[in-house]
Every structure is written in structure tokens, then in C-alpha cells.
Amino acid sequence: MAASAAAAELQASGGPRHPVCLLVLGMAGSGKTTFVQRLTGHLHAQGTPPYVINLDPAVHEVPFPANIDIRDTVKYKEVMKQYGLGPNGGIVTSLNLFATRFDQASSFPTVVIYVMDTSRSTNPVTFMSNMLYACSILYKTKLPFIVVMNKTDIIDHSFAVEWMQDFEAFQDALNQETTYVSNLTRSMSLVLDEFYSSLRVVGVSAVLGTGLDELFVQVTSAAEEYEREYRPEYERLKKSLANAESQQQREQLERLRKDMGSVALDAGTAKDSLSPVLHPSDLILTRGTLDEEDEEADSDTDDIDHRVTEESHEEPAFQNFMQESMAQYWKRNNK
């Protein structure tokens, strides 16, 4: 799901003047729908209604007003049948159709909000799974990132923050696990230290509405980071893409000119091959087959009527030929 927080909400805290686009992601059951419902209700109460887009094609009901609903255009069950995917794979493939075309980040500050089920992350292995998923989304989207630890009304999120900040505390929790997965998690936790160091974390209860004020403070900080660090890079990439497309168009036009030039040259060559340069002796043998214009242009005796001259020579020869043919015919028949 995606919610565009109104600019007035952020301007009140000194944030950017442009609306901020929030991409709300998370695992199944993490409370994304309830979170967006609470978020949109909070913004409506503040007099800054957001523009909301539902990007979950598998959700049964949307308990908030959505300006655009992906379920109207993408049928995830048909995607599952076509590509042989399960429900999660169908949803991910459906979202990829949108993500590959999503260029909103080049116009508005865009922030990714990853909703995490805090109550189900008390197990260190499950917690690490959530963090790895969040890390993969961060590097895939290349956008400012906020982890929203939802359901703090069930359990406080302080234990998760401690695990992220204190490596030894996380290792102590892992020592209670003796499975192979725990050993793998212990090794991978070393890799995520850099990821944790720059990560924004907010505890929120989508049911009670607590933590939203702190969330908007983090959204403002992330939007400023976008304007400062991400937008120049996006503008550079956009310009590079435009230059590459322009260069490709020029190359295509140049190839077209060359192809058209070769076609014209071949046509000219073919035309020349139909009228080769003749030797003077050839002109004698082919006399009468040239165009009248060529004859008139090349002739030095314009005062002579060649047709009359040729007819005067051809008429006696034709009469002699006919007389000889008739004589031979009568001779054969009278034998």
C-alpha cells in the first residue's frame, strides 16, 4: 500500500513543502492494512487528507478510502495460475508490475515504511528474518527507510531496539537456540551492523494510534535526507537516461540514413547497368533500338531522315524474301 502524507503535516514541523510519498510494505499479518487505516484517519483528523493507493491485490477488504485500488486492474489469482506461483509469489509478481513502472520518486520525496510484527519477533531467529527482509527491500528500492515496529500495545519494542544496538545482547538471546538456523543467524547478524547503524526505528500501535507523532518526525527527517542525498542522484540518473536515449535515437537515424543511401546508390547502379556505354561498332549492330531522343542527341546528321532511309532498304529485301518463300512453297507442293 502507499499513502501520500500531505505537505501541510510536514510543513508544521519544518519539513519539505512537497507531499511525501510513503510506500508501506511488510510481511503478511504484520498489520499493514490497520496501520494505513490509522495513518489515513490521523491525517484526515488533521485536515490534511492523503491520496491513498491500495497496492495489495490479495486483500479482501480495504477499511480506508482508496483513491486507486490495484484490485481493479490486477487479478493476483490469474497471475498465480499463469506463472505457477503461490499466494505470496502472486502478490510479489503483481507488485513488481507496479514497482518496475514506479517513477514517482523522481517527482516527490519518497520514503519506504517497513511494518514489522513486534509480537512475533521476540524469537531472535524470526527477528533476524524480518531484518534480512527489510535489508533486501532497502537495497532494492534505494530510498530512505523507516522500520515501524507495530503492535506495541501487545509488547514493547525496546527488546528489538536493544538487539539492534547491542550485538552481545542479541548473541545471548541466540545462545538459547541450538538449531542450525540459529548458527546461521549468528553469522549473519555480523553483516547487519552497518544496516542497523543508519536505520530509523519507530514503535507504533496501529490499534491505539500511539507513536504516530514520532513517526512523522522520522518521516520529515527521511524526506529531508531524500532531498539532500537521493534526489541529486535520481536527477543524474534521469539525465543520463535521457542522454542515452537521445544518443540511441541519433544512432538509429544515422543507420537509417546509411541504409537509405545504400538503397539509392544500388538503384542508381542498377539504372546505369541497364544502359551500358556502347562501342561504336555496337551502335552499328543495334541501330534502331536506341531511344529517339538519344539518336537525335548523338546524331551529327540531323538533316537525314533515318526512318525513310531504313524503310527504303528494308522494302526490297522484304519483297525478295517473300518471293523466294512462295517459290519454294510451290516447288514442294508440285512435286
Do residues 2 and 90 touch, judged by C-beta distance below 8 A? Answer: no
> What pLDDT sits at residue 221?
93
pLDDT of residue 272: 54
pLDDT of residue 253: 85
Assign 173 to helix, strand or coil: helix
Asked if 49 and 43 touch (Cβ cutoff 8 Å), the reply is: yes
Grid coordinates representing 176 are 538459547
Q: Which residue has the cell 508490475?
A: 97
Say whether 290 sits in a helix, a strand or coil. coil
pLDDT at residue 263, as a whole number: 61
Looking at the DSSP assignment, which residues form a beta bridge with residue 69?
Answer: 54
pLDDT at site 324: 72
Place of cell 505457477: 84
Residues 313/319/324/326 CA torsion (nearest 10 deg): 160
Main-chain dihedrals φ then ψ at residue 162, nearest 5 degrees: -65, -40
Instruction: For residues 211 and 206, give the distance between their C-alpha atoms in angstroms, rounded to a whole number.
Output: 9
pLDDT at 39: 94
Alpha-helical (H) ranges within the chain are: 7-11, 32-45, 76-83, 87-99, 124-141, 158-165, 167-174, 180-189, 193-197, 212-225, 231-274, 280-285, 292-298, 306-333
Per-residue pLDDT of the chain (335 residues; tens, 9 = 90+): 444 343 334 444 444 467 899 999 998 889 999 999 999 999 999 999 999 999 888 788 899 999 999 888 878 788 778 877 666 555 556 555 555 445 444 578 889 999 999 999 999 989 998 998 998 888 888 889 999 999 999 999 999 999 998 888 988 888 887 777 777 787 788 778 778 888 999 999 999 999 999 999 999 999 999 988 888 887 888 788 888 888 888 888 888 888 877 665 555 555 555 555 555 445 444 444 444 444 444 444 445 454 544 555 555 666 666 667 666 666 666 65
pTM for the predicted model, two decimal places: 0.66
- In whole angstroms, what is the distance from residue 292 CA to residue 295 CA? 5
pLDDT of residue 284: 46
pLDDT at 290: 46
Torsion, CA 233, CA 200, CA 189, CA 138, rounded to 10: -30
